[in-house]
Structure 1
Amino acid sequence: MLRPLLFLTLLFLLVIYWSRPDNSGNKNTPPPSAPSPKKPPPAPSKPGRTVAVGDLHSDLPQTLAVLRLANVIDEDANWSGGQDTLVQTGDIVDRGPDTIAVYNLFDKLRNQAKEVGGKVVNVYGNHEVMNLGEDLRYVTEEDYESFGGREKRRQAWNVRTGWLGKMIFKNFNITHIQNGHTIFTHGPIWSRSNAMQDGGAEETCRRVNAAKKALGVNRLISGHTPQYRTGKILSICNGGYMVIDVGISKYYGGHLAVLEILENDDGTQNVFALYPGGKRRL
């Protein structure tokens, strides 16, 4: 009984073997595909532009004009800068009538920029600090009226309970370092008079170079000291220090200028001044 069963089993295996499709000569059968080579990871995208503007002093029309010059807002005053970073170096308030409008504009742009990968940075100016501390010597009557009177303005600036005081305390920075190479402050890191020395005075540049080395940056940027006589960005110490307060508000002459920093593939930067009449390398 065992032999017939063994014979039938062998016969069954032979039938299966001979009935297999013969692919050895089938030229239409594709050879086994080689594993696809791994694609290199995508190169990191180059950061967007960095643009910076100086003191605005409660002048909405001039603020809109300089931000359009920077190409970060459209005609409806909405963010159009994509992944760019906008830095404003303080002193939005005082000397003009449009305090509420300008602060609200930056708050709106901050939120809009964040949604598309951009960034809006505000740095404290001495006038922000003065108003938070109720030093109101430079507040205009039009400014008081826009808040509905002195008491309502005082309440709005309260850092714990006021809508504007809380907004500033939450969103403003004392300094800002951009991409590790440029530090933005409101005022110079030493006396204000140093910022007025054109041509790279020896003592000024010694201090600039010491500060750059200590901070590990390529350049220092500040506002605070209006260059209203020239209306141009001041660049000294071989571009190591720049003053971007050109007197944007009408109070200081209504000059328009934007600092623009472009990133290069080798880690260096190209720095330009943008003016209504054109672009100049710094």
Structure 2
Amino acid sequence: MMRILKRTTGKTPQQKREALAGLLFALPSLAGFALFFVIPFFMSLYYCFTEGIGGTRFAGFKNFESLLSSESFLLAAKNTLIFNGVAVPLIILVSLGFALLLNTGIKGLSFYRSSFILPLVVPVASVILVWQILFHERGALSQLLKHFGLPAVNWINSGWSVGVLVLLYIWKNCGYNVVLFLAGLNSIPREYYESARIDGAGPWTCFTRITLPFLAPTGFFVLVLSIINSLKVFRESYQLAGNYPDRHIYMLQNFMNNNFANLNYQRLSAAAFLLFVIIGLMVFALFRFEAKLGRDLE
């Protein structure tokens, strides 16, 4: 009786040993996560409410007030919002378009898949070098304009810079999204399309009534992935235009990197915490929307 009670109310010795073994195997990963993520996060949170470098003292919300009144921060936030609002929908539409085109049974599908994945494995420095050759004020594109009697354009240091960065972002990250969309399209049973065509449905009806609903989970994942990649575009922006790029591509990452270089840790921590809160709220809203969409489709 006691043995049965022990089995129903607690773990057996074997289960405890397995749990302990699993914890020991996971310990190095948990230690690394705590050392490089958890502890720095709380240190950054502490700096948000202090001032001074050596002897820090409590400052309340002074750092956040200073941050929200900073023109450079507001410019960086506006540019980041504009970039995400333009680049993320564009890359989803372009990726979906290419996926639908490749899903039509085009010859050499494996070759095209490899071609789309290639930008992901090419070193960023090499990509930036090609982009600078193309879009520099004296680059290939400006020389082509001069050939036709048009004035040269300083693509990287003008209002055109955001277009150049969006184009670079799409070229760099489009391939992975195409592969994900292709996997989602291949998982849709072909019988649904055949039945719809028998009932007289056209291509647009099949796309809106079959493809889009079944592709919604993949599309949601691609959306989240695209937003995450768009927030990492600082690497390309930094190598393309340096620490202080044109004001149209001065992103939040540029702002935080410059404050780190100036040892303004309080301001950097406040900006990082605000970005963390905004991203968390955005992801939470997206997951709520995806859950509601899934219930509606059911």
TM-score in terms of structure 1 length = 0.21
Task: Specify the structure having the higher radius of gyration (Cα).
Answer: 1
Considering fraction of residues, name the structure with more strand. 1
What is the TM-score with the length of structure 2 in the denominator? 0.20
Bigger proportion of residues as helix: 2
More contact order relative to length (CA 8 Å, sep ≥ 6): 2
